[in-house]
Amino acid sequence: MSDCPTLTRPIAAAPRRPGLFARLRASILLARQRRRLAALDDRMLDDIGLDRDAARAEAARPIWDVPSHWRL
Protein backbone atom coordinates (compact mmCIF):
# COMPACT_ATOMS: atom_id res chain seq x y z
CA MET A 1 0.00 0.00 0.00
CA SER A 2 2.94 2.37 0.28
CA ASP A 3 2.88 2.81 -3.51
CA CYS A 4 -0.47 4.56 -3.34
CA PRO A 5 0.14 8.33 -3.48
CA THR A 6 -3.19 9.23 -1.91
CA LEU A 7 -2.28 7.52 1.34
CA THR A 8 0.95 9.48 1.79
CA ARG A 9 -0.27 12.95 0.73
CA PRO A 10 -2.22 15.04 3.20
CA ILE A 11 -5.70 15.95 2.10
CA ALA A 12 -6.19 19.69 1.68
CA ALA A 13 -9.06 21.10 3.66
CA ALA A 14 -11.66 23.04 1.76
CA PRO A 15 -11.41 26.78 2.36
CA ARG A 16 -13.90 27.90 4.99
CA ARG A 17 -16.02 30.96 4.58
CA PRO A 18 -16.12 33.19 7.66
CA GLY A 19 -19.23 32.86 9.74
CA LEU A 20 -21.94 35.42 10.26
CA PHE A 21 -20.33 36.71 13.48
CA ALA A 22 -16.99 37.38 11.73
CA ARG A 23 -18.67 39.21 8.86
CA LEU A 24 -20.80 41.27 11.26
CA ARG A 25 -17.75 42.19 13.33
CA ALA A 26 -15.83 43.25 10.22
CA SER A 27 -18.75 45.43 9.13
CA ILE A 28 -18.97 47.11 12.52
CA LEU A 29 -15.23 47.80 12.54
CA LEU A 30 -15.39 49.26 9.03
CA ALA A 31 -18.26 51.55 9.99
CA ARG A 32 -16.28 52.71 13.04
CA GLN A 33 -13.19 53.43 10.91
CA ARG A 34 -15.23 55.46 8.46
CA ARG A 35 -16.84 57.50 11.27
CA ARG A 36 -13.39 58.23 12.69
CA LEU A 37 -12.12 59.24 9.26
CA ALA A 38 -14.98 61.71 8.93
CA ALA A 39 -14.10 63.20 12.33
CA LEU A 40 -10.45 63.96 11.47
CA ASP A 41 -9.50 67.61 11.16
CA ASP A 42 -7.85 69.04 8.03
CA ARG A 43 -4.33 68.80 9.49
CA MET A 44 -4.76 65.10 10.24
CA LEU A 45 -6.26 64.45 6.81
CA ASP A 46 -3.29 66.23 5.23
CA ASP A 47 -0.97 63.92 7.19
CA ILE A 48 -2.54 60.86 5.55
CA GLY A 49 -2.79 62.47 2.12
CA LEU A 50 -6.54 63.06 1.92
CA ASP A 51 -8.60 66.17 1.51
CA ARG A 52 -11.94 66.85 3.21
CA ASP A 53 -14.00 65.86 0.15
CA ALA A 54 -12.23 62.49 -0.22
CA ALA A 55 -12.71 61.75 3.49
CA ARG A 56 -16.41 62.63 3.30
CA ALA A 57 -16.87 60.47 0.21
CA GLU A 58 -15.19 57.49 1.89
CA ALA A 59 -17.12 57.97 5.13
CA ALA A 60 -20.42 58.10 3.24
CA ARG A 61 -19.91 54.74 1.54
CA PRO A 62 -22.14 51.91 2.80
CA ILE A 63 -20.49 49.08 4.74
CA TRP A 64 -20.93 46.61 1.88
CA ASP A 65 -19.03 48.91 -0.51
CA VAL A 66 -15.45 47.76 0.03
CA PRO A 67 -12.61 46.68 -2.28
CA SER A 68 -12.80 43.00 -3.18
CA HIS A 69 -9.55 42.17 -1.35
CA TRP A 70 -11.14 43.36 1.93
CA ARG A 71 -14.08 41.00 1.68
CA LEU A 72 -14.09 37.98 3.94
Burial classification of residue 34, based on how many CB atoms lie within 10 Å of its CB (0-12 exposed, 13-18 middle, 19 or more buried): middle
**Pairwise CA distance, residues 11 & 4, whole Å:** 14
The sign of the dihedral angle between the CA atoms of 20, 23, 29, 32 is negative
State residue 38's pLDDT score: 94
Whether residue 71 is contained in a domain is answered as: no
Whether residue 4 is contained in a domain is answered as: no
| DSSP-based three-state secondary structure for 67 | coil
Whether residue 39 is contained in a domain is answered as: yes
**Full residue range of the structural domain in which residue 31 is found:** 19-63
Whether residue 3 is contained in a domain is answered as: no
**Pairwise CA distance, residues 69 & 72, whole Å:** 8
Look at the chain and report how many structural domains it folds into: 1
Whether residue 10 is contained in a domain is answered as: no
The model's pLDDT over 8-17, given as tens digits with 9 standing for 90+, comes to 666 667 677 7
The model's pLDDT over 22-68, given as tens digits with 9 standing for 90+, comes to 888 988 999 999 999 999 999 999 999 999 999 999 999 998 888 77
Q: Rounded to 5 degrees, what angle do the CA atoms 63, 25, 29 make?
A: 55
